[in-house]
Structure 1
Amino acid sequence: MNFDNHSLSKEQHIDLFKGILKPRLIEEKMLVLLRQGKISKWFSGIGQEAIAVGVTKALKADEYILPMHRNLGVFTERKIPLHRLFSQWQGKMDGFTKGRDRSFHFGTQEYKIIGMISHLGPQLGVADGIGLGHKLKKEKAVTAVFTGEGGTSEGDFHEALNVASVWQLPVLFCVENNGYGLSTPTNEQFNCEHIADKALGYGMESHIIDGNNIVEVFAQVNEIAESVRQKPRPILLEFKTFRRRGHEEASGTKYVPDELMEHWEKLDPVDNYELFILDSNFLNREEINLIKSEIKSEIDEHLKIANEELEIEADETIELQDVYKLHEFKNQTPSSEKTELRFIDAISDGLKQSMEKHDDLVIMGQDVAEYGGVFKITAGFVEKFGKERVRNTPICESAIVSAAMGLSIKGIKSIVEMQFSDFVSSGFNPIVNYLAKVHYRWAQNADVVIRMPCGAGVGAGPFHSQTNEAWFTKTPGLKVVYPSNPQEAKGLLLASIEDPNPVLFFEHKALYRSIRGEVSDDYFTVELGKANLISEGNDLSVITYGASVHWASEVLQKHPEISAELIDLRTLSPLDEEAIFKSVKKTGKVIILQEDSIFGGIASDISALISENCFEYLDAPIKRLASLPTPIPFSKNLEEQYLSKSKFENALITLNKY
């Protein structure tokens, strides 16, 4: 191994040596504690320390790094107090997740480290978002994100590289090619000689670096990072190294041939660099032993602090309040000056006024720029706000949702348009596993609104007609909004954008151009989590939302003999349980109408809530009404048969007579 580099001083070599030595000594201690049962799990990076340490030293302290669970050197180089790391691994309060997550699954704005989630891929897109934030803010900064050779098989890897290349984002994609994804060797992961070769398909620059040579890692990444700061662009870096211990310690390494293990043990990055330091007379053996002794003493001292820290006491109130970032709703009253608008125009007007109020707000989606989106909601926005803020995206739903998360980390609000809500399945993972959980895990909010054009009744067939709100109402950490009329569509959208938490904003396509109403001209907000009592009555309660509000209204107008309370939920999560219970206790009968199919839909949960909280007030069984349990058909006659709209009138009359 050649560590000669005339551009590095003796002091820099010693600094690199101390940097690479520290995570090794911590790991050796952790492995002892693991065998003693004092920690529950460990993902070893022994043999790979040069990568994390070298990359981190090459970046500035205020530049973000997104490491994996084998990159202990990132955390030690960012000078995180060791007792906080030890507390994190023990699930104690002085860690970074209040005991809610383990090992390296955390982030910290203080140290500009954004930790991974177990699904690996989304963090690559998050790095795109941080890099985009740097570009939008005109900052000369680079972001480094780590993954392993196994992670390059995920779709998120390819989406993130594609987006970064198209947008020329200042991101270093650092791939640790360590031989195995758990037990699967590289020849079963991809069929090319080098991972770096994949960059060619994305028009990206790439480099192959000896991941066991701390000098080569630091020197090359330092030069590349400075180049990217001056000329923003993404670069793929493949670090050749080897994982000499199990995926995690319980996995073992029996699948690794002995001769392969022996080969890489001879290339140990710490031992070889130590010999170089000695041979170069930068330090003598006594000085090295002193350095090791000081690090070991620091480890023991900080372990004592962590060990003496009390276990976390469970507090249900704290757990529930941390699911969302605290947001104090500011009621901005609608103006008396109003204009009649279609549902679609009210949404467009709300987006426009939000873009004017929040001068860094970004809209991203397929064809949203010059084309104005497939529904023309953002038509004219490019001319008014520019292409930096109104961004066409590749067909990369997962990467774009993840990029929105990255923008939030940089303090920038964003709106992602799903061309159709059906397509959200391609971006499902980062929504439910990243955006939804991130504030609960380490107090970082996801300031993202995802617009969801949805619903049947327009002859769009199985792939463009779903109303899939139930995919998200069951996921803690997400807010789900579903307006039914133009005025509230605008006010709820503005409130959703104000809210610093992730919001799924459902817009029924059948309402876009069929529903008109008076809409306040000025900027105003409608509070999330509050239902709207459209009409009062005494005979029964109709609880619904979205297009179904209009179905119910039409039928109730035909039957003035039925005194019904009509409740428009407007927000499905958080749900206005108080309004529901108040109405049911008053009328004693309830029908819950939804467009979605019945099993697993929100009507089932509302029914259960009513049964548990209002049972003694009921004068009839709770009635749920939903569409057929089939995919949504294209033919007009089949679609009409499918929809719960056609069944509502008979169900209403029957319940009223009960």
Structure 2
Amino acid sequence: MQFDRKDLGNEQLVQFYRSLLLPRMIEEKMLVLLRQGRISKWFSGIGQEAIAVGATLALQPEEWIMPLHRNLGVFTTRNMPLSKLFKQWQGSQDGYSNGRERSFHFGNNPHHICGMISHLGPQLAIADGVSLAAKLRNEQKVSLAFTGEGGTSEGDFHEALNTAAVWDLPVIFLIENNGYGLSTPVSEQYRCENLVDRARGYGMEGVQIDGNNILTVYDTIKGVREYCIREQKPYLIECMTFRMRGHEEASGTKYVPPHLFEEWEKKDPVKNFEQWLVAEQIIPEDRIARIKENIREYIEVELAMAQESSPIRVDSNKELSDVYAPVPETDVPDVSLVDDENKNELRLIDAVKEGLDQSMQQHPNLVIMGQDIAEYGGAFKITEGFVEKYGKSRVRNTPICESAIIGTALGLSLEGYKSVVEMQFADFVSVAFNQIVNNLAKIHYRWGHSADVVVRMPTGGGVGAGPFHSQSNEAWFTHTPGLKVVYPSTPEDAKGLLIAAINDPNPVMFFEHKALYRSVSGAVPDVYYETPIGKARKVQEGKDISIITYGSGVHWAKQYAAANPAISIDILDLRTLLPLDYEAIRESVSATGKILILHEDTLTGGIGGEISAWISEHCFQQLDAPVLRCASLDTPVPFSIDLENNFLAKSRLDECVQQLLDY
């Protein structure tokens, strides 16, 4: 192995050696602890330390890194306290994730390290968002995201690289090609000769290097960093390496031909660099022995400190409260405090636009993203005129890559930006599902960082749009702790709830019914105000039956009540589906004792089942009849208007009401 020191001084080379040796010796200790049962799992990076260490040395401390399983060298080179890392790996409550995560599934804001999730690919798009933030601030920074050769097969790899290329983002994408995705060899993973060849397909530069040579890694990434900042473009690096242990220790290495271990043992990144330092008389052998002894003592001292950690203190209230970031106090008026004067008659679509517009004025750090939202104004023209008003840096057309854009939004959040992502249709959110339910929703609980992202979801049927443009998929997200799910039915609530969602530091799924956009109008205050998330709205009071609903169901219920004045109907508009306003639900049950839950979503698995169960558990004595649900058919949404009318819950509303009255 040839090492080119270039302009590196002797002491800097010695420091590189220490940085390279430290994660190797920690790993050797971790394998002992694993055999002793003091940790439960370990993903070893032995044999490929030069990549993580060299990459981290080449970056500035405030530049974000998105590491994966085998990148211990990132954490140690960023000088994270080893005792706290030990606590993390032992599952201690004093670790970085309070015992909620294992190994390297955690991040840390002060050290600019973003915690991985097991799905691997989503890390890449987060780097896009971080670099977009730097670009918006005109900062001379890059971000660096790791992936393995197996991860390059994921759609997130394509989406992240394509987005970075199209938006000219200074991102370094680094592939650790160690030959195996768990047990699957590269011959069964891709057919291109080299993964770096894919760079050309995205219109970016790329290079393949020896990932076991720390000076090559350091020099390459240092130069690539300068290129990315100077040219404001991304770059792909393929580091050839090999892991000398299993994917994780339990999986073993029987699938690897023995000769590969023999070949790669000769390329050991630590031993080769050490031998070169001695041969070049940069460091004498006795000093190497002292360095190793010092590191060994350091590891033992830090481990002893970690063992002093107190036992896990189980506190359900704290666990629940840490799912969401606290919502800061603001001076934004609640809608109930806004005078009735200065209200304008607006359609729901106009109210959404006004709320978004006023939020863009209120928050200079707010970026909106989505397909065709710039000059075209979006599929529903809500953002029409925004480019002229706020510029293309804040009103961003995206490629058709929903997953990458949600990941980018999370990356923006790491750097203190707010973002609103428009799904062209709520149906399309399925291809971003992983980013939403595993990355956005869990990040605050996992390591304390908020995901300040609103996902706008044009939803619902009634317009003859068929199975892929009409779904009501809000229930997909009400099962996910960490998300908030909002669904207004009136223009006033649409504006106020959107403003509240943008002000909330937590991820909010904001549903907007397409059929209500231009068919529903109402008085809307022209000032900047909030409608509180988590509070239901009493539409009208009644004493015969209660209809608990939201979205289009509110208008169906009102129309039914108007057409049947002999029935005294209590109507509750939930407005927020996560969290639910249980007190308002209880009050509606108390008012009538007969409850009908109405929603456009299909019956099975809809939010109505959850509400019904809660009422049965908590309000049973107040019931005068079983809780009934009126929902759409358990079929995809049909295209034919006749079939769609039959599909929608509205067609069964009278039947359900009569059944409840007759009980």
**1:6-45, aligned counterparts within 5 Å?**
6-45=6-45
Query: In structure 1, what is the equivalent of residue 549 of structure 2?
Result: 544
Which string of whole-angstrom CA distances, capped at 9 and with x for unpartnered residues, describes residues 427-486 of structure 1? 000000000000000000000000000000000000000010000001000000000011
Query: In structure 1, what is the equivalent of residue 592 of structure 2?
Result: 587
- Residues 93 and 313 of structure 2 are in contact (CA less than 8 Å); yes or no, is this contact kept in structure 1? no
Query: In structure 1, what is the equivalent of residue 473 of structure 2?
Result: 468
Shift in Å, 1:334:
3.1
Structure 1 residue ranges without an equivalent (≥5): none
Of 355, 362, 373, 2:378 maps to: 373
Write the letter of the residue equivalent to 1:521: D
Write the letter of the residue equivalent to 2:243: R
Shift in Å, 1:97:
0.5
Identity %: 60
Q: How many residues align?
A: 658
Shift in Å, 1:329:
5.4
**1:81-92, aligned counterparts within 5 Å?**
81-92=81-92
- Residues 455 and 508 of structure 2 are in contact (CA less than 8 Å); yes or no, is this contact kept in structure 1? yes
- Residues 406 and 421 of structure 2 are in contact (CA less than 8 Å); yes or no, is this contact kept in structure 1? yes
Shift in Å, 1:285:
1.2
Of 365, 368, 371, 1:363 maps to: 368
Query: In structure 2, what is the equivalent of residue 444 of structure 1?
Result: 449
User: How far apart, in 2, do the equivalents of 1:131 and 1:589 lie?
Assistant: 55
* Pair 1:457 & 2:459 matched: no
User: How far apart, in 1, do the equivalents of 2:79 and 2:384 lie?
Assistant: 48
Shift in Å, 1:243:
1.4
Query: In structure 1, what is the equivalent of residue 564 of structure 2?
Result: 559
Structure 2 residue ranges without an equivalent (≥5): none
SS of the residue 1:308 aligns to: coil
SS of the residue 2:239 aligns to: strand
Shift in Å, 1:6:
2.9
Query: In structure 2, what is the equivalent of residue 286 of structure 1?
Result: 286
* Pair 1:618 & 2:623 matched: yes
User: How far apart, in 2, do the equivalents of 1:44 and 1:334 lie?
Assistant: 59
- Pairwise CA RMSD: 0.9
SS of the residue 2:643 aligns to: helix
Runs of 4+ in structure 1 displaced over 6 angstroms? none
Query: In structure 2, what is the equivalent of residue 524 of structure 1?
Result: 529
Write the letter of the residue equivalent to 1:262: E
SS of the residue 1:305 aligns to: helix
User: How far apart, in 1, do the equivalents of 2:640 and 2:114 lie?
Assistant: 48
Query: In structure 2, what is the equivalent of residue 334 of structure 1?
Result: 338
Shift in Å, 1:422:
0.2
* Pair 1:636 & 2:638 matched: no
Of 404, 410, 417, 2:409 maps to: 404
SS of the residue 1:548 aligns to: helix
- Residues 23 and 49 of structure 2 are in contact (CA less than 8 Å); yes or no, is this contact kept in structure 1? yes
Query: In structure 1, what is the equivalent of residue 210 of structure 2?
Result: 210
Query: In structure 1, what is the equivalent of residue 308 of structure 2?
Result: 308
User: How far apart, in 2, do the equivalents of 1:646 and 1:269 lie?
Assistant: 70
Query: In structure 1, what is the equivalent of residue 653 of structure 2?
Result: 648
Query: In structure 1, what is the equivalent of residue 440 of structure 2?
Result: 435
User: How far apart, in 2, do the equivalents of 1:63 and 1:444 lie?
Assistant: 17
User: How far apart, in 2, do the equivalents of 1:7 and 1:481 lie?
Assistant: 58
Query: In structure 1, what is the equivalent of residue 244 of structure 2?
Result: 244
User: How far apart, in 1, do the equivalents of 2:237 and 2:573 lie?
Assistant: 53
User: How far apart, in 2, do the equivalents of 1:416 and 1:145 lie?
Assistant: 22
SS of the residue 2:318 aligns to: helix
User: How far apart, in 1, do the equivalents of 2:275 and 2:247 lie?
Assistant: 28
Query: In structure 2, what is the equivalent of residue 169 of structure 1?
Result: 169
Query: In structure 2, what is the equivalent of residue 324 of structure 1?
Result: 324
* Pair 1:507 & 2:504 matched: no
User: How far apart, in 2, do the equivalents of 1:325 and 1:638 lie?
Assistant: 44
Shift in Å, 1:34:
0.6
Shift in Å, 1:308:
1.5
User: How far apart, in 2, do the equivalents of 1:18 and 1:538 lie?
Assistant: 76
- Residues 127 and 171 of structure 1 are in contact (CA less than 8 Å); yes or no, is this contact kept in structure 2? yes
Query: In structure 2, what is the equivalent of residue 489 of structure 1?
Result: 494
Shift in Å, 1:4:
2.8
User: How far apart, in 1, do the equivalents of 2:35 and 2:122 lie?
Assistant: 33
Query: In structure 1, what is the equivalent of residue 98 of structure 2?
Result: 98
SS of the residue 1:219 aligns to: helix
Which string of whole-angstrom CA distances, capped at 9 and with x for unpartnered residues, describes residues 233-271 of structure 1? 100000000111100001111111111111001100001
User: How far apart, in 2, do the equivalents of 1:537 and 1:459 lie?
Assistant: 34
User: How far apart, in 2, do the equivalents of 1:107 and 1:309 lie?
Assistant: 20
SS of the residue 2:444 aligns to: helix
User: How far apart, in 2, do the equivalents of 1:53 and 1:499 lie?
Assistant: 37
- Residues 4 and 216 of structure 2 are in contact (CA less than 8 Å); yes or no, is this contact kept in structure 1? no
Shift in Å, 1:84:
0.7
Shift in Å, 1:593:
0.2
SS of the residue 1:403 aligns to: helix
User: How far apart, in 1, do the equivalents of 2:328 and 2:82 lie?
Assistant: 36
Shift in Å, 1:550:
0.2
Shift in Å, 1:227:
2.4
- Residues 465 and 632 of structure 1 are in contact (CA less than 8 Å); yes or no, is this contact kept in structure 2? yes
Shift in Å, 1:560:
1.4
User: How far apart, in 2, do the equivalents of 1:222 and 1:452 lie?
Assistant: 42
Query: In structure 2, what is the equivalent of residue 385 of structure 1?
Result: 390
SS of the residue 2:619 aligns to: helix
Query: In structure 2, what is the equivalent of residue 603 of structure 1?
Result: 608
Query: In structure 2, what is the equivalent of residue 180 of structure 1?
Result: 180
Which string of whole-angstrom CA distances, capped at 9 and with x for unpartnered residues, describes residues 78-107 of structure 1? 000100100000111221100000000001
Which string of whole-angstrom CA distances, capped at 9 and with x for unpartnered residues, describes residues 328-347 of structure 1? 45451435201111110110
SS of the residue 1:196 aligns to: helix
User: How far apart, in 2, do the equivalents of 1:157 and 1:407 lie?
Assistant: 18
Which string of whole-angstrom CA distances, capped at 9 and with x for unpartnered residues, describes residues 546-598 of structure 1? 01100010001111111121000000000000100111022111000010111
* Pair 1:76 & 2:76 matched: yes
- Residues 47 and 243 of structure 1 are in contact (CA less than 8 Å); yes or no, is this contact kept in structure 2? yes
User: How far apart, in 2, do the equivalents of 1:329 and 1:624 lie?
Assistant: 38
User: How far apart, in 2, do the equivalents of 1:215 and 1:496 lie?
Assistant: 48
Which is further off, 538-547 or 5-14? 5-14
Which string of whole-angstrom CA distances, capped at 9 and with x for unpartnered residues, describes residues 276-305 of structure 1? 011111111110010000111110001001
Write the letter of the residue equivalent to 2:9: S
Write the letter of the residue equivalent to 2:191: N
User: How far apart, in 1, do the equivalents of 2:95 and 2:237 lie?
Assistant: 31
- Residues 57 and 218 of structure 2 are in contact (CA less than 8 Å); yes or no, is this contact kept in structure 1? yes
User: How far apart, in 1, do the equivalents of 2:434 and 2:573 lie?
Assistant: 30
User: How far apart, in 2, do the equivalents of 1:6 and 1:342 lie?
Assistant: 66
* Pair 1:498 & 2:498 matched: no
Shift in Å, 1:656:
1.9
Write the letter of the residue equivalent to 2:338: P
Which string of whole-angstrom CA distances, capped at 9 and with x for unpartnered residues, describes residues 16-36 of structure 1? 111100000000000011111
Query: In structure 2, what is the equivalent of residue 190 of structure 1?
Result: 190
